[in-house]
Amino acid sequence: MRTEEPVHVSNDDGVRDRAARRAVTVFPILVLAAGALGLLLPGGFTGWGGAVPYLLGVVMFCMGVTMTPQDFRGVARRPWAVALGLGAHYVIMPGLGWAIAHLLQLPPQLAAGVILVGCAPSGTASNVVTYLARGDVALSVSVATVSTLAAPLVTPPLTLLLAGAYLPVDAGSMVTDILKTVLLPVLAGLAVRLLAGRWVERALPALPWLSAVTIGVIVTVVVAGSADAIKSAALLVLVAVVLHNGLGLALGYGAGRLAGLGEPGSRAMSFEVGMQNSGLAASLAAAHFSPLAALPAAVFSVWHNVSGALAAAWLSRRGR
Protein backbone atom coordinates (compact mmCIF):
# COMPACT_ATOMS: atom_id res chain seq x y z
CA MET A 1 0.00 0.00 0.00
CA ARG A 2 2.22 6.43 -0.07
CA THR A 3 2.05 3.23 3.69
CA GLU A 4 2.10 6.15 3.92
CA GLU A 5 5.29 4.87 3.12
CA PRO A 6 7.08 6.69 0.40
CA VAL A 7 7.79 3.89 -2.02
CA HIS A 8 7.76 4.49 -5.75
CA VAL A 9 7.49 1.26 -7.65
CA SER A 10 8.98 0.22 -10.95
CA ASN A 11 8.20 -3.16 -12.48
CA ASP A 12 11.95 -3.69 -12.93
CA ASP A 13 12.88 -3.06 -9.33
CA GLY A 14 12.16 -6.44 -7.77
CA VAL A 15 13.99 -5.91 -4.49
CA ARG A 16 12.19 -2.69 -3.74
CA ASP A 17 8.85 -4.18 -4.81
CA ARG A 18 9.14 -7.13 -2.44
CA ALA A 19 10.18 -4.94 0.48
CA ALA A 20 7.37 -2.48 -0.23
CA ARG A 21 4.77 -5.22 -0.49
CA ARG A 22 5.80 -6.72 2.84
CA ALA A 23 5.80 -3.33 4.55
CA VAL A 24 2.42 -2.47 3.08
CA THR A 25 0.92 -5.75 4.28
CA VAL A 26 2.13 -5.16 7.83
CA PHE A 27 1.47 -1.41 7.88
CA PRO A 28 -2.24 -1.39 8.83
CA ILE A 29 -1.50 -3.69 11.77
CA LEU A 30 1.38 -1.46 12.84
CA VAL A 31 -0.77 1.67 12.67
CA LEU A 32 -3.62 0.01 14.57
CA ALA A 33 -1.16 -0.97 17.31
CA ALA A 34 0.29 2.55 17.33
CA GLY A 35 -3.18 4.07 17.66
CA ALA A 36 -4.09 1.67 20.48
CA LEU A 37 -0.89 2.60 22.31
CA GLY A 38 -1.69 6.30 22.08
CA LEU A 39 -5.25 5.67 23.26
CA LEU A 40 -4.31 3.47 26.20
CA LEU A 41 -1.26 5.44 27.39
CA PRO A 42 -1.88 9.07 26.36
CA GLY A 43 0.11 10.43 29.29
CA GLY A 44 3.23 8.69 28.07
CA PHE A 45 3.37 10.94 24.99
CA THR A 46 2.69 14.31 26.57
CA GLY A 47 4.82 16.96 24.90
CA TRP A 48 5.62 14.85 21.84
CA GLY A 49 3.44 16.95 19.53
CA GLY A 50 6.32 19.19 18.52
CA ALA A 51 8.16 16.22 17.05
CA VAL A 52 5.45 15.41 14.49
CA PRO A 53 6.67 17.79 11.73
CA TYR A 54 10.21 16.40 12.05
CA LEU A 55 8.91 12.83 11.89
CA LEU A 56 6.95 13.71 8.77
CA GLY A 57 10.13 15.21 7.34
CA VAL A 58 11.79 11.80 7.75
CA VAL A 59 8.98 10.15 5.78
CA MET A 60 9.19 12.71 2.99
CA PHE A 61 12.99 12.43 2.87
CA CYS A 62 12.59 8.70 2.33
CA MET A 63 10.16 9.46 -0.47
CA GLY A 64 12.70 11.74 -2.12
CA VAL A 65 15.40 9.09 -1.83
CA THR A 66 13.21 6.60 -3.73
CA MET A 67 12.66 9.04 -6.61
CA THR A 68 14.56 8.69 -9.87
CA PRO A 69 14.80 10.79 -13.04
CA GLN A 70 12.49 8.20 -14.62
CA ASP A 71 9.68 9.46 -12.41
CA PHE A 72 9.93 12.93 -13.94
CA ARG A 73 10.31 11.61 -17.48
CA GLY A 74 6.98 9.87 -16.97
CA VAL A 75 5.35 13.27 -16.38
CA ALA A 76 6.83 14.63 -19.61
CA ARG A 77 5.67 11.63 -21.64
CA ARG A 78 2.00 11.89 -20.64
CA PRO A 79 1.37 15.41 -19.39
CA TRP A 80 -2.36 15.31 -20.15
CA ALA A 81 -2.92 12.14 -18.10
CA VAL A 82 -0.86 13.49 -15.18
CA ALA A 83 -2.74 16.81 -15.35
CA LEU A 84 -6.02 14.89 -15.29
CA GLY A 85 -4.91 12.93 -12.24
CA LEU A 86 -3.72 16.07 -10.47
CA GLY A 87 -6.96 17.91 -11.23
CA ALA A 88 -9.13 14.97 -10.18
CA HIS A 89 -7.22 14.58 -6.93
CA TYR A 90 -7.41 18.22 -5.89
CA VAL A 91 -11.05 18.61 -6.95
CA ILE A 92 -12.67 15.34 -5.86
CA MET A 93 -11.13 14.83 -2.42
CA PRO A 94 -11.40 18.43 -1.13
CA GLY A 95 -14.97 18.62 -2.49
CA LEU A 96 -15.89 15.34 -0.83
CA GLY A 97 -14.37 16.48 2.46
CA TRP A 98 -16.46 19.64 2.42
CA ALA A 99 -19.64 17.79 1.42
CA ILE A 100 -19.20 15.06 4.07
CA ALA A 101 -18.54 17.65 6.79
CA HIS A 102 -21.84 19.33 5.87
CA LEU A 103 -23.77 16.08 5.43
CA LEU A 104 -22.74 14.72 8.83
CA GLN A 105 -22.90 18.16 10.48
CA LEU A 106 -19.49 17.64 12.01
CA PRO A 107 -18.29 19.91 14.82
CA PRO A 108 -15.93 22.65 13.55
CA GLN A 109 -12.69 20.96 14.65
CA LEU A 110 -13.59 17.64 13.04
CA ALA A 111 -14.98 19.31 9.93
CA ALA A 112 -11.75 21.24 9.42
CA GLY A 113 -9.77 18.02 9.95
CA VAL A 114 -11.78 16.08 7.35
CA ILE A 115 -11.45 18.90 4.83
CA LEU A 116 -7.71 19.16 5.46
CA VAL A 117 -7.31 15.44 4.76
CA GLY A 118 -9.06 16.02 1.44
CA CYS A 119 -6.75 18.91 0.57
CA ALA A 120 -3.57 16.87 1.18
CA PRO A 121 -1.53 15.36 -1.69
CA SER A 122 -1.67 11.72 -2.72
CA GLY A 123 -0.84 9.11 -0.11
CA THR A 124 2.57 7.49 -0.39
CA ALA A 125 1.10 3.98 -0.39
CA SER A 126 -0.84 4.64 -3.59
CA ASN A 127 2.05 3.62 -5.83
CA VAL A 128 2.47 0.21 -4.25
CA VAL A 129 -1.27 -0.46 -4.10
CA THR A 130 -1.52 0.40 -7.80
CA TYR A 131 1.22 -2.13 -8.47
CA LEU A 132 -0.55 -4.82 -6.45
CA ALA A 133 -3.82 -4.03 -8.29
CA ARG A 134 -2.07 -4.46 -11.66
CA GLY A 135 -2.67 -0.82 -12.50
CA ASP A 136 -0.60 1.73 -14.42
CA VAL A 137 2.31 2.19 -12.01
CA ALA A 138 4.10 4.79 -14.15
CA LEU A 139 1.00 7.01 -14.14
CA SER A 140 0.53 6.50 -10.40
CA VAL A 141 4.12 7.52 -9.66
CA SER A 142 3.86 10.59 -11.90
CA VAL A 143 0.62 11.83 -10.34
CA ALA A 144 1.85 11.18 -6.80
CA THR A 145 5.11 13.03 -7.47
CA VAL A 146 3.42 16.08 -9.00
CA SER A 147 0.68 16.25 -6.35
CA THR A 148 3.32 16.22 -3.60
CA LEU A 149 5.46 18.90 -5.23
CA ALA A 150 2.34 21.02 -5.85
CA ALA A 151 1.11 20.74 -2.25
CA PRO A 152 2.70 23.99 -0.97
CA LEU A 153 0.82 25.93 -3.65
CA VAL A 154 -2.48 24.01 -3.58
CA THR A 155 -3.20 22.66 -0.10
CA PRO A 156 -3.19 25.96 1.90
CA PRO A 157 -5.54 27.97 -0.38
CA LEU A 158 -7.91 25.01 -0.75
CA THR A 159 -8.00 24.58 3.03
CA LEU A 160 -8.65 28.29 3.49
CA LEU A 161 -11.46 28.21 0.91
CA LEU A 162 -13.24 25.15 2.24
CA ALA A 163 -12.41 25.06 5.95
CA GLY A 164 -12.25 28.79 6.62
CA ALA A 165 -15.93 28.85 7.52
CA TYR A 166 -15.24 26.44 10.39
CA LEU A 167 -11.96 27.70 11.84
CA PRO A 168 -9.44 30.47 11.13
CA VAL A 169 -6.85 29.29 8.58
CA ASP A 170 -3.43 30.93 8.31
CA ALA A 171 -2.66 29.91 4.72
CA GLY A 172 0.68 31.72 4.65
CA SER A 173 1.97 29.88 7.71
CA MET A 174 0.67 26.61 6.27
CA VAL A 175 2.65 27.19 3.06
CA THR A 176 5.81 27.63 5.13
CA ASP A 177 5.12 24.46 7.10
CA ILE A 178 4.55 22.38 3.96
CA LEU A 179 7.74 23.74 2.41
CA LYS A 180 9.70 22.75 5.51
CA THR A 181 8.11 19.36 6.16
CA VAL A 182 7.42 18.19 2.60
CA LEU A 183 9.19 19.96 -0.22
CA LEU A 184 12.62 20.50 1.34
CA PRO A 185 12.94 16.93 2.69
CA VAL A 186 11.81 15.49 -0.67
CA LEU A 187 14.36 17.60 -2.55
CA ALA A 188 17.05 16.65 -0.03
CA GLY A 189 16.25 12.97 -0.51
CA LEU A 190 16.32 13.35 -4.28
CA ALA A 191 19.73 15.05 -4.06
CA VAL A 192 21.07 12.19 -1.94
CA ARG A 193 19.77 9.68 -4.49
CA LEU A 194 21.49 11.53 -7.34
CA LEU A 195 24.78 12.01 -5.50
CA ALA A 196 25.04 8.64 -3.77
CA GLY A 197 22.88 6.36 -5.86
CA ARG A 198 25.04 3.27 -5.39
CA TRP A 199 24.86 3.48 -1.60
CA VAL A 200 21.17 4.36 -1.65
CA GLU A 201 20.33 1.24 -3.68
CA ARG A 202 21.61 -0.89 -0.83
CA ALA A 203 19.35 0.88 1.66
CA LEU A 204 16.16 0.83 -0.44
CA PRO A 205 14.71 -2.37 1.09
CA ALA A 206 14.83 -0.76 4.55
CA LEU A 207 13.11 2.50 3.57
CA PRO A 208 9.50 1.23 3.60
CA TRP A 209 10.02 -0.08 7.12
CA LEU A 210 11.59 3.17 8.31
CA SER A 211 8.65 5.11 6.90
CA ALA A 212 6.10 2.67 8.34
CA VAL A 213 7.57 2.91 11.84
CA THR A 214 7.80 6.71 11.61
CA ILE A 215 4.18 7.03 10.52
CA GLY A 216 3.25 4.71 13.38
CA VAL A 217 4.91 7.08 15.86
CA ILE A 218 3.05 10.03 14.30
CA VAL A 219 -0.27 8.21 14.71
CA THR A 220 0.54 7.36 18.34
CA VAL A 221 1.30 11.00 19.16
CA VAL A 222 -1.79 12.32 17.36
CA VAL A 223 -4.12 9.78 18.97
CA ALA A 224 -2.61 10.39 22.43
CA GLY A 225 -3.24 14.12 22.00
CA SER A 226 -6.96 13.55 21.41
CA ALA A 227 -7.54 10.37 23.42
CA ASP A 228 -10.49 11.79 25.37
CA ALA A 229 -12.22 13.06 22.24
CA ILE A 230 -11.81 9.73 20.46
CA LYS A 231 -14.04 8.00 22.97
CA SER A 232 -16.96 10.29 22.12
CA ALA A 233 -16.29 11.01 18.44
CA ALA A 234 -14.68 7.82 17.12
CA LEU A 235 -17.78 6.40 15.39
CA LEU A 236 -18.65 9.69 13.73
CA VAL A 237 -15.09 10.17 12.49
CA LEU A 238 -14.93 6.59 11.21
CA VAL A 239 -18.12 7.09 9.19
CA ALA A 240 -16.70 10.30 7.70
CA VAL A 241 -13.39 8.63 6.82
CA VAL A 242 -14.97 5.54 5.24
CA LEU A 243 -17.26 7.73 3.11
CA HIS A 244 -14.42 10.05 2.13
CA ASN A 245 -12.03 7.29 1.14
CA GLY A 246 -14.61 5.02 -0.50
CA LEU A 247 -16.17 7.73 -2.63
CA GLY A 248 -12.70 9.01 -3.55
CA LEU A 249 -11.64 5.57 -4.80
CA ALA A 250 -14.87 5.15 -6.79
CA LEU A 251 -14.90 8.64 -8.31
CA GLY A 252 -11.18 8.45 -9.15
CA TYR A 253 -11.78 5.20 -11.03
CA GLY A 254 -14.79 6.72 -12.78
CA ALA A 255 -12.78 9.78 -13.82
CA GLY A 256 -10.18 7.52 -15.41
CA ARG A 257 -12.80 5.58 -17.33
CA LEU A 258 -14.53 8.75 -18.55
CA ALA A 259 -11.17 10.12 -19.72
CA GLY A 260 -10.47 6.96 -21.68
CA LEU A 261 -7.39 5.92 -19.68
CA GLY A 262 -8.29 2.24 -19.90
CA GLU A 263 -8.47 -0.25 -17.05
CA PRO A 264 -4.85 0.01 -15.76
CA GLY A 265 -4.91 3.81 -15.89
CA SER A 266 -8.30 3.96 -14.17
CA ARG A 267 -7.01 1.78 -11.35
CA ALA A 268 -4.07 4.13 -10.89
CA MET A 269 -6.45 7.11 -10.83
CA SER A 270 -8.61 5.41 -8.22
CA PHE A 271 -5.76 5.10 -5.73
CA GLU A 272 -4.19 8.46 -6.56
CA VAL A 273 -7.49 10.19 -5.82
CA GLY A 274 -8.72 8.10 -2.88
CA MET A 275 -5.49 7.71 -0.87
CA GLN A 276 -4.17 10.76 0.95
CA ASN A 277 -0.95 11.82 2.67
CA SER A 278 -2.73 11.74 6.01
CA GLY A 279 0.58 12.09 7.86
CA LEU A 280 0.88 15.59 6.41
CA ALA A 281 -2.77 16.30 7.21
CA ALA A 282 -2.29 15.19 10.83
CA SER A 283 0.82 17.34 11.21
CA LEU A 284 -0.86 20.43 9.76
CA ALA A 285 -4.07 19.89 11.75
CA ALA A 286 -2.20 19.54 15.03
CA ALA A 287 -0.07 22.61 14.29
CA HIS A 288 -2.76 24.93 12.91
CA PHE A 289 -6.01 23.70 14.49
CA SER A 290 -5.97 21.25 17.43
CA PRO A 291 -5.25 17.61 18.31
CA LEU A 292 -8.97 16.89 17.81
CA ALA A 293 -8.78 18.22 14.24
CA ALA A 294 -5.94 15.76 13.61
CA LEU A 295 -8.16 12.81 14.55
CA PRO A 296 -9.68 12.32 11.06
CA ALA A 297 -6.18 12.15 9.58
CA ALA A 298 -5.10 9.54 12.14
CA VAL A 299 -8.14 7.37 11.37
CA PHE A 300 -7.70 7.91 7.62
CA SER A 301 -4.08 6.76 7.92
CA VAL A 302 -5.27 3.38 9.13
CA TRP A 303 -8.39 2.97 7.03
CA HIS A 304 -7.10 3.94 3.58
CA ASN A 305 -4.33 1.37 3.81
CA VAL A 306 -6.79 -1.37 4.78
CA SER A 307 -9.28 -0.40 2.06
CA GLY A 308 -6.48 0.06 -0.48
CA ALA A 309 -5.10 -3.41 0.20
CA LEU A 310 -8.56 -4.98 -0.08
CA ALA A 311 -9.37 -3.09 -3.29
CA ALA A 312 -6.02 -4.05 -4.80
CA ALA A 313 -6.59 -7.73 -4.00
CA TRP A 314 -10.04 -7.65 -5.58
CA LEU A 315 -8.90 -5.80 -8.70
CA SER A 316 -5.87 -8.04 -9.22
CA ARG A 317 -8.16 -11.07 -9.32
CA ARG A 318 -10.36 -9.42 -11.94
CA GLY A 319 -7.41 -9.11 -14.33
CA ARG A 320 -7.23 -6.26 -16.81
DSSP assignment string, 117-149:
HHHS-B-TTHHHHHHHTT--HHHHHHHHHHHHH
Q: Which residues contact 29 (CB under 8 A, 6 or more apart)?
A: none
What's the mean pLDDT in 75-103? 92
Distance of CA 299 to the CA centre of its chain: 12
Query: Does some domain include residue 112?
Result: yes
Give long-range contacts, CB 8 A cutoff, 24+ apart: 10-14. Answer: 10/68, 10/70, 10/137, 10/141, 11/131, 11/137, 13/204
Return the number of other C-beta atoms located less than 10 Å from residue 222's C-beta: 31
Nearest residue to 20 via CA among 211, 194, 190, 269 = 211
Note whether residue 5 is domain-resident: no
pLDDT of residue 2: 43
- Compute the average pLDDT of residues 109-131: 88
For 257-310, how does the pLDDT look when each residue is reduced to its tens digit (9 = 90+)?
A: 999 999 999 999 999 999 998 888 988 888 888 878 888 988 888 788 788 878
Whether the Cβ atoms of residue 268 and residue 140 lie closer than 8 Å to each other: yes
- Please return the burial class of 319, using the count of CB atoms within 10 Å of its CB with bins 0-12, 13-18 and 19+: exposed
pLDDT at 222: 77
What was the pLDDT predicted at 3? 43
- Residue 320's pLDDT band (cuts 50, 70, 90): low
Instruction: Please indicate, yes or no, if residue 6 is contained in any of the structural domains.
Output: no
- Whether the pLDDT of residue 211 is over 60: the answer is yes
Tell me the torsion sign for CA atoms 135, 139, 142, 145.
negative
How high is the mean pLDDT of the chain?
83
Q: What pLDDT was estimated at residue 9? A: 44
Q: Determine the structural domain holding residue 212 and report its residue range.
A: 14-315
CA atoms within 13 A on the CB side of 17: 11
Instruction: Give how far Cα 225 sits from Cα of 44, 143, 280, Å.
Output: 10, 33, 16
Q: CA–CA separation, 131 vs 154, rounded Å?
A: 27
Residue 3 lies in a domain: no
Residue 127 is which amino acid? N
Q: Is residue 9 part of a domain?
A: no
Higher pLDDT, 70 or 319: 70
Question: Is 1 within the bounds of a domain?
Answer: no
CATH number, residue 164: 1.20.1530.20
Amino acid identity, residue 271?
F
pLDDT of amino acid 24: 59
Cα gap 186→124, rounded to integer Å? 12
**Spatial separation of the C-alpha atoms in residues 283 and 314, rounded to whole Å:** 32
Query: Could you tell me the pTM of the whole model?
Result: 0.82
Establish if 36 belongs to a structural domain: yes
Tell me if 282 is assigned to some domain: yes
Instruction: Quote the pLDDT of residue 17.
Output: 54
Q: What percent of the chain has pLDDT over 90?
A: 30
The total domain count for the chain is 1
